Amino acid sequence: MSDLTLPIDRQRPLDPPDEIIELSRQASMHRMRYADGHLGWLVTGYAAARAVLADPRFSNRPEKMHPAFPARAALAQNGEFRMPPGMFLRTDPPEHTRYRKLLTGQFTVRRMKMLEPRIEEITNACLDDMEAAGGPVDLVQAFALPIPSLVICELLGVPYEDRARFHEDAKVLVNLETKAEDALAALGSTMAYLHGLIQRKRKEPGDDLLSGLIESGDLNDEELTGVAFLLLLAGHETTANMLGLGTYALLANPDQLAAMRDDPAVVENGVEELLRYLTIIHLGPFRLALEDVEIEGNLIKAGEMVGLSLPAANRDPSRFPEGETLDVTRPASGHMTFGHGIHQCLGQQLARAEMRIAYPALLRRLPGLRLAVTPEEVPMRSHMSIYGVHSLPVTW
């Protein structure tokens, strides 16, 4: 298996690539060739993936990482490249701990509960507009993207009118086929915008998360810009794709859709199940072994890369029996869609709140909701780091 490279093309839109499914049937860990020739690992088993993500002997710093995707190889090999400060996702403790602690208080279960009325308002306004316009509409543009986009902009204190400037950059950045120089340019342009925003907020603080961080005085402007970038990007791309792809999946499974629409008791778990079943993190995360580590009898040598297929881990039959079916009533918590270990998603409770409100609101307001094209015509985000639908034409 040592010449295996990363397969990302899906044969069926809602399932991981066949090659990954086949591999996960054989073993939970595999040797894999990275884009620069490095021979590392691919993990497809649930327990092994959890073990890697919880183990401090693996680093998430980008400096020595080997690229998994050919278009990114040049970027990684350019020794000059360093993560801008503040992008704490790609740091290790104690640096990571410092940033994370500054932010976790803003994303607690309780705080996200307090945001619910505002999320409901935003959701209802989107639905009002959809109804007024009449179908067919693109559900991504009318619903799936504006809800998380408005929520994260308000939370951070980023003017929503400015969204066009970073939406375009975000698309470039999450495209796995984007050339290194284009990715750097998109990163630079959004960073410049956010840096300006931080400086304005320093003079005129508002009642928002970024102003609060500025006031606390723990981070300098460069760090604040990096933090703002990470939260803005993560707040957009993830939940928007869950709402778009989740609706597509529900339309393909009418009995599951009916349960999410008609039974409020199902919604909380139904959201977990959609998170598990869809696992929109296509491939990755990736880690670098800082020392020799043995996992399930496999010796991962210091300096070797380990990539995880979370879609495969979340369908591991030893953890989720019949994981290939969408069943909104199965016990789905424990899935790894938000990751595991110290980098587990900071915004996960916000994402849950948005989905718990948005799915049932959509399905109840528009009970006749259906695709306006054939399922095969829906363009899938196969080459983006976050999987989903590019657009979802619907009518009702």
Contact 59, 79 (CB under 8 A): no
Q: Is 188 a binder of other proteins (CB under 8 A)?
A: no
Give 105 or 134: the residue with its C-beta nearer to other proteins.
105
Q: Is 345 in the site for other proteins (CB under 8 A)?
A: yes
Burial 90-123 (b: 16+ CB within 10 A, else e): bbbeeebeebbebbeebbeeeebeebeeebeebb
The verdict on 123 binding other proteins (CB under 8 A) reads: no
Binding residue (CB under 8 A) for other proteins from 5, 59, 106, 382: 106
Whole-Å CA distances, 26 to 1, 295, 316: 11, 16, 11
Identity at 328, one-letter amino acid code:
V
Q: Least distance (Å) from other proteins to the CB of residue 56?
A: 10
Identity at 222, one-letter amino acid code: E
Q: How far is CA 298 from CA 9, 13, 121, 301, 395, in A?
A: 27, 32, 51, 9, 51
User: Min. distance of Cβ 319 from other proteins in angstroms?
Assistant: 11
Binding other proteins (rule: CB under 8 A), the pick from 244, 311, 339, 388 is: 339
For residue 237, the Cα-to-chain-centroid distance in whole angstroms is 6
Task: Identify residues 295-324 at the interface with other proteins (CB under 8 A).
Answer: none
Q: Is 284 in the site for other proteins (CB under 8 A)?
A: no
Q: Are 214 and 205 in contact (CB under 8 A)?
A: yes
Whose structure tokens read 């890369």?
305
Of the ranges 175-183, 223-231, 244-252, 347-355, which one interacts with other proteins (CB under 8 A)? 347-355
Q: Applying CB under 8 A, which of residues 133, 344, 377, 379 lies at the interface with other proteins?
A: 344
* 3-state helix vs strand vs coil in the chain, percent to 5: 55, 10, 35
**Sites for other proteins among residues 35-54 (CB under 8 A):** 53-54
Among 141, 220, 325, 333, binds other proteins (CB under 8 A): 333
Q: How far apart are the first and last CA of the chain?
A: 48
Q: Does residue 314 contact residue 336 with C-beta atoms inside 8 Å?
A: yes
**Residue 199 in the binding site for other proteins (CB under 8 A):** no
**341 lies in the binding site for other proteins (CB under 8 A):** yes
Q: Does 166 bind other proteins (CB under 8 A)?
A: no
The reply on whether position 108 binds other proteins by CB under 8 A is yes
# of chain residues touching other proteins (CB under 8 A): 25
Binding site for other proteins (CB under 8 A): 53-54, 100-101, 103-110, 333-334, 338-342, 344-346, 348-349, 352
